[in-house]
Structure 1
Amino acid sequence: MRQFLSPKIKPTPAIFFPFLLLKSSTAIPKTQSLPMSWTCSVCTFINPSSHQKPTCQICLSSQPSSSLALSQSPSPTKPKWACKACTFLNQYDNSSCEVCGTRASASLLSILENDDDDFDELGSGVGDVFLPLRACNSGSTSNKNKRKIWESSIGDANDLADSGNDFRGVKAASREVQCVAGETGLDRGNKPVKIMSYNVWFREELEMHKRMEALGDLIQLHSPDIICFQEVTPNIYEVFQQSSWWKLYRCSVSDDEAFTRAYFCLQLCKLSVKSYSCRPFANSVMGRELCIAEVNVQTERTMIVATSHLESPCPAPPKWDQMYSKERVNQAKEAIKFLEKNPNVIFCGDMNWDDKLDGQFPLSDGWVDAWVQLRPSENGWTYDTKSNKMLSGNRTLQKRLDRFVCNLRDFKISEIEMIGMDEIAGLSYCKEKKVKNEVKKLMLPVLPSDHYGLLLTICPQQRK
């Protein structure tokens, strides 16, 4: 619940809420004093309350002044900023006043541009191009009124409670899904099943609506049965909801859930879904998780389709070495270990995988990498700064970040293709590129995302 103040009323500490770790439905007494963690606005790392320095542990960015002042207060409070026009106290992650729309003095929407002078010593690894993740556009006033602070649901990353299984849980393990009229897996016969995976890119100020419309055109063209999205923001979620294709799918995320996260993974399914579930990774400092759909494909044949956005490389001064390779590899191992108990499993998403840095993807016996299996002679780069002209001006990065890995008993993989590689007709944007001491303006085309999508087709095996 969001509390509002009249601009003319002097705020008191009573109206603030501390960051609370949601370990169960039991309410924490109001008299309990909790130290406050804070999230870095540059790299999204959740700095624990035990970290006493006013700089981020990962990228050394300064703690927001409002958050710093509140953390030094004996009464833990949620950081806010006062609008210079109407004095309304806004949540710190809002870049514009909720009441009058006046922008904060420090914009949360700016995107770090690459300066070649700062990267002379870097190589061609993933982290050399991926600058630290930044907060997404906070969106319209109507959206802001719906949202909660993401960090209040995640809490201190170092204090998450063990749920007793392979993952630490802060979300419900599963949710029943009501089926709607239409074709379900039970009456499909031997029809092939199409699964799409796509990182939609949370950069909202770069033609978000047009990019999502183009992505919707791809959905209507290929008509996937199951869709796995990564980097969906609340605003992107709303654009999807207003699309004509949306009503054909059952969604893994409710409206309430969609407005509690800065960005998240989303699953959509045309088939009969037994349940959706979500399991946060134990070692993630970025709130990453494994999202799972249990789908009825045929009578007595179910399939698990899981997606994730594994830990992102996040290089920053002074060492530029925060690559999170160990965390990423362990997350992949956790996911495979948890999923492999099922006879039919597909795991897809933005793995942020760098074979040179992370090694081979940790597949157990029986698992196959769909791209390697079906198109072994092709590189499969889903992030390519050379072929994706929208990314011109970035340092060169060509990696197979997005993948489908499968362990199937009753199905076989038959086809995989890369989608979203075409420029959006008649659309361009201006990118400022700093080269030494000169700023150059580049007019570049726009594609649906900075990633390319993947579309996998599987077919049922003949029953013996």
Structure 2
Amino acid sequence: MGLLTLLKKKRSPSPPPPRQTPPLEFRIYCHNIRQDTQNLQPNEQPWHKRRQGVSASIFHNSQKHPQLPFIVGLQEVKHNQLHDILFSLGSEWTYFGVGRDDGKTKGEFCPILYKPSEWQLVKGETLWLSTTPEKPSKSWDSACARILTIVELRHKSGNLVKIINTHFDHKSSKARLNSAKMVLKSIDPEENVVVCGDLNSDREGESYNVLSSSFLKDSSIDSPIKQGFETTNTGFTPGEENSIDFIWTNRSFKYHEVLSHDVGQGLFSDHRPVLAVVSV
């Protein structure tokens, strides 16, 4: 066997380069819709009068740029409210999430809504923000059970995204601090990750600082384009406002907007929705 023949036999073809999915831009919509309650605040309307505004805001913003996929993270959602919203949005929508009190239907949800025509659910789980995250529970002087809703969604382009939706405790700063640490523990920095929710903490709070000191970016800070209102938490009576609702990613933002929660017939929540465009 000649040397040239031997070299040809030993030389194996170069493996093809790994398949790369194209970059994906999508919109994430985050909103604390205010639970359905009999204990109404001053100027608060009952849920049956607010629900149309909540659903209309989601639907309208999902239609504004149909070329960009859409994902929704909601907070303070009771089971009946979730079904009202899904009924209004139509059969092309679905959700992942459970009630925080029993892991089924009781208590508030932090549901993640999406269209199966755009996204495939690869994995979904709920973790309780406590020392026993696998079951309904609370810790760290928390007033309520609090949860992380976590999904892995694969876009039809092939891109995989992890979405985390949460609502931190309103009473205990210790609980909020440990909750922020749990969020970071649930994330692999190599993943495409978006975190959204009501932190019950403004930018001066410890829990916010835990997240902002990490690899996560805040849409209200790091987006090149910012529009809309300055604050997210308003109450139902004019007065002092602040921002406690945030969207984070370990990738990049293209756009950030705090939307109106007033449809001319009263506020449909005591929080304004937040919308961001994420690039992964």
Cα deviation, residue 198, structure 1: 0.5
Query: Which amino acid counterpart does residue 414 of structure 1 have in structure 2?
Result: K
User: Are 1:352 and 2:200 counterparts?
Assistant: yes
Cα distance in 2 for residues equivalent to 1:288 and 1:254: 11
Could you tell me whether the CA contact under 8 Å between 2:231 and 2:258 is conserved in 1? no
Q: Which runs of 5+ in 2 are unaligned?
A: 1-20, 39-44, 63-68, 131-138
Superposition pairs for residues 275-354 of structure 1, below 5 Å? 275-282=123-130, 283=139, 284-297=142-155, 299-313=157-171, 324-354=172-202
User: Are 1:238 and 2:58 counterparts?
Assistant: no
Give per-residue Cα distances to partners, 1:174-205, cap 9 Å, x unaligned. xxxxxxxxxxxxxx976631111100001445
TM-score normalized by the length of structure 1: 0.45
Cα distance in 2 for residues equivalent to 1:355 and 1:239: 33
TM-score normalized by the length of structure 2: 0.73
User: Are 1:216 and 2:55 counterparts?
Assistant: yes
- C-alpha change, 1:232 and 1:459, in structure 2 (3 Å) is same
- Higher relative CO (Cα under 8 Å, sequence separation at least 6) belongs to 2
The residue matched to 2:29 in structure 1 has which SS? Answer: strand
Could you tell me whether the CA contact under 8 Å between 1:237 and 1:258 is conserved in 2? no
Query: Which amino acid counterpart does residue 347 of structure 1 have in structure 2?
Result: V
Cα deviation, residue 399, structure 1: 1.7
Cα deviation, residue 360, structure 1: 4.5
- C-alpha change, 1:299 and 1:207, in structure 2 (3 Å) is same
- Equivalent residue number for residue 248 of structure 1: 92
Query: Which amino acid counterpart does residue 202 of structure 1 have in structure 2?
Result: Q
Cα deviation, residue 404, structure 1: 0.8
- Equivalent residue number for residue 269 of structure 2: 449
Could you tell me whether the CA contact under 8 Å between 1:281 and 1:331 is conserved in 2? yes
The residue matched to 1:248 in structure 2 has which SS? Answer: coil
Query: Which amino acid counterpart does residue 248 of structure 2 have in structure 1?
Result: V
Cα deviation, residue 207, structure 1: 3.0
What fraction of aligned residue pairs are identical, expressed as a percent? 22
Could you tell me whether the CA contact under 8 Å between 1:384 and 1:398 is conserved in 2? yes
Alpha-carbon RMSD across the aligned residues, in angstroms, is 2.8
Cα distance in 2 for residues equivalent to 1:213 and 1:304: 29
Cα deviation, residue 334, structure 1: 1.3
- Equivalent residue number for residue 228 of structure 1: 73
The residue matched to 1:265 in structure 2 has which SS? Answer: coil
Could you tell me whether the CA contact under 8 Å between 2:98 and 2:126 is conserved in 1? no
User: Are 1:368 and 2:217 counterparts?
Assistant: yes
The residue matched to 1:209 in structure 2 has which SS? Answer: helix
- C-alpha change, 1:212 and 1:413, in structure 2 (3 Å) is same
Cα distance in 2 for residues equivalent to 1:337 and 1:415: 27
Structure having the higher Rg: 1
User: Are 1:413 and 2:253 counterparts?
Assistant: yes
Q: Which runs of 5+ in 1 are unaligned?
A: 1-187, 314-323, 428-445
Query: Which amino acid counterpart does residue 274 of structure 1 have in structure 2?
Result: V
- C-alpha change, 1:240 and 1:379, in structure 2 (3 Å) is closer
- Equivalent residue number for residue 26 of structure 2: 193
